[in-house]
């Protein structure tokens, strides 16, 4: 069945400059495609059981406990303290890579971050944003106030990719400053040594954070479908270049790529980090779905 998300592909949305409009479009389009959202009420948290007293709403009865003990208990909820989510946006130059016709990974990352932030705010969660390249550029601590969303979107809008990636070091620096446990959302191409990255990630895990990594790929990077003699010039390190016939190195490249992704996947699995590889022509909704399933597991 056709869904509205089918029409919300990044290609179609790239002309929408206003992030808040875009984020709303993405998130609401996403939800409108779901029937009877199973995720409703995530922001309430179970506190305790108490014995049933007449007048209590029957729908709050815990039937499982009744089944076990033959007594009526009421599930008691408390209004959830806001989830603290921090979006780590990789703004290094490598994120600026774009294939010939499209838009860059950074472009995608910004829109994805905006959509996520919007979604989180919708759910009354606190959202923070960290942009970084070799070091942290901007740190916006998580807040749940609706006005905070505008701050984040403004920051995202003016963000431009530059500098090298030193993901491991930046994350390692960042980990101590996130005191309260929460959700860490990393949006990056992860173009750094996977071991270093995983070590940094493990520190977040150590701080009891949930970590979800959206790893962004351009289709050109995973298919390497170039032909004819080509000079590949490094975006991050000017002067570094490779002059070659892509057809001839493709084989080895693909092997290296597969190995890199596999390392990362295994490492993340070990650390119980959710790794979500995304290709920049995938709908943002895919990322949102991934996020929501993660939240479901946490619940």
Partner 1 sequence: MTFLNLALLAGIAAAALPVLIHLLSKSRPKVVAWAAMHLLIPAAQASRRKLRFENLLLLLVRVLIPTLLALALARPVLTGAQAPAGDTPIAMVVLFDNSYSMQAGDSATTREKRAKEAVATILGRLPAGSEASIVLMSDGVRTLGGDARLDFAKLNQQLDALACDGSGTDTARALNVAAALLGKTTLAQRAVVLVSDFQAVNWGDTDAPARAAAWARLAALPVKPSVTWVNVGAAGSDNASLDSVTVSPTRVAAGQPVTIRVAASNAGDAPHPDLHVFLRVDGQERGQTRLSLPAGQSGQAIFTHTFDRPGPHLIEASTDADALAADNTAAYSAEVIDRLPVLLVNGDPGREPLRGETDFLALALRPAPDGGSLFLPRVVDAIGLTPRALAGAKAVVLANVRQLSDAQVELLNAFVRAGGGLIIFPGGRVQASWYNDRLYENGNGLLPATLGHLAGSTQHTARIAAQRFDHPALALFNDPRNGDLTRAEIRQWFTLVVSPAQHGQPEASVLARLENGDPFLVEKSLGRGRVILAATACDADWNSLPLDPSYVVLMRELTASAAIVAPPPRNVPAGAPLTLTLPEAAAGSKVTVIDPAQQEHEVVAEARDGAATAEYRGSGRPGIYTFHTPDESVPFVVTAGREESRLAAIEPSRLDALAQAAGAAVISSGAAYSSLDQARRFGREIWRPVFIAVVALLFAELFLQQWITRKRPA
Stretch of 44-52, 125-133, 144-152, 230-238 contacting partner 1, by CB under 8 A: 230-238
Is 249 near partner 1 (CB under 8 A)? yes
Is 67 near partner 1 (CB under 8 A)? no
Distance of alpha carbon 273 from the chain centroid: 12
Smallest distance, Å, CB 85 to partner 1?
27
* Out of 90, 133, 189, 210, the residue judged to bind partner 1 by CB under 8 A: 189
Is 97 near partner 1 (CB under 8 A)? yes
Helix (H) or strand (E) segment spanning residue 260:
helix 246-271
Smallest distance, Å, CB 258 to partner 1?
5
> How many Cα neighbours within 13 Å face the side chain of 57?
4
Is 266 near partner 1 (CB under 8 A)? no
Tracing tokens 């472009």 back to the chain, one arrives at 107
Best CA proximity match to 278, nearest among 198, 195, 159, 189: 189
Is 72 near partner 1 (CB under 8 A)? no
Tracing tokens 């509205």 back to the chain, one arrives at 4
154-183 residues in contact with partner 1 (CB under 8 A) are none
* Out of 37, 48, 160, 234, the residue judged to bind partner 1 by CB under 8 A: 234
The per-residue b/e assignment along 182-215, b for 16 or more CB within 10 angstroms, e otherwise, is bbbbbbbbbbbebeebbebbbbbbebebbbbbbb
Please tell me the count of residues contacting partner 1 according to CB under 8 A. 40
Nearer of residues 103 and 253 to partner 1, judged by Cβ: 253
Q: Is 75 within 8 Å of 250 (Cβ atoms)?
A: no
Kindly list the residues in this chain that would bind partner 1 in the complex (CB under 8 A). 93-97, 105, 189, 191, 218, 221-222, 226, 228-237, 240, 242-245, 247-258, 260
């Amino acid at each position: 069945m056709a869904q509205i998300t089918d029409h919300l592909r990044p290609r179609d949305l790239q002309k929408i400059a206003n992030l808040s409009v875009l984020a709303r479009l993405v998130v609401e389009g996403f939800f409108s495609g779901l029937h009877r959202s199973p995720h409703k009420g995530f922001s309430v948290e179970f506190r305790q059981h108490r014995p049933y007293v007449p007048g209590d709403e029957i729908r709050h009865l815990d039937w499982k406990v009744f089944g076990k003990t033959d007594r009526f208990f009421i599930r008691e909820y408390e209004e959830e303290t806001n989830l603290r989510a921090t979006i780590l946006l990789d703004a290094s130059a490598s994120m600026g890579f774009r294939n010939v016709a499209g838009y860059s990974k950074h472009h995608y990352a910004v829109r994805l971050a905006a959509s996520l932030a919007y979604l989180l705010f919708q759910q009354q969660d606190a959202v923070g944003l960290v942009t970084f390249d070799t070091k942290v550029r901007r740190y916006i601590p998580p807040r749940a106030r609706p006005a905070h969303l505008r701050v984040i979107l403004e920051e995202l809008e003016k963000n431009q990719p530059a500098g090298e990636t030193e993901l491991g070091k930046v994350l390692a620096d960042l980990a101590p400053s996130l005191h309260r446990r929460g959700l860490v959302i990393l949006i990056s191409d992860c173009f750094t040594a996977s071991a270093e990255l995983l070590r940094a990630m493990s520190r977040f895990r150590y701080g009891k954070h949930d970590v979800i990594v959206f790893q962004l790929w351009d289709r050109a990077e995973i298919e390497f479908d170039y032909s004819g003699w080509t000079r590949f010039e490094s975006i991050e390190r000017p002067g570094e270049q490779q002059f070659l016939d892509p057809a001839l190195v493709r084989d080895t490249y693909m092997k290296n790529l597969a190995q890199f992704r596999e390392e990362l996947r295994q490492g993340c699995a070990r650390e119980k980090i959710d790794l979500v590889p995304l290709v920049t022509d995938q709908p943002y909704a895919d990322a949102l779905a991934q996020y929501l399933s993660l939240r479901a597991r946490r619940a």
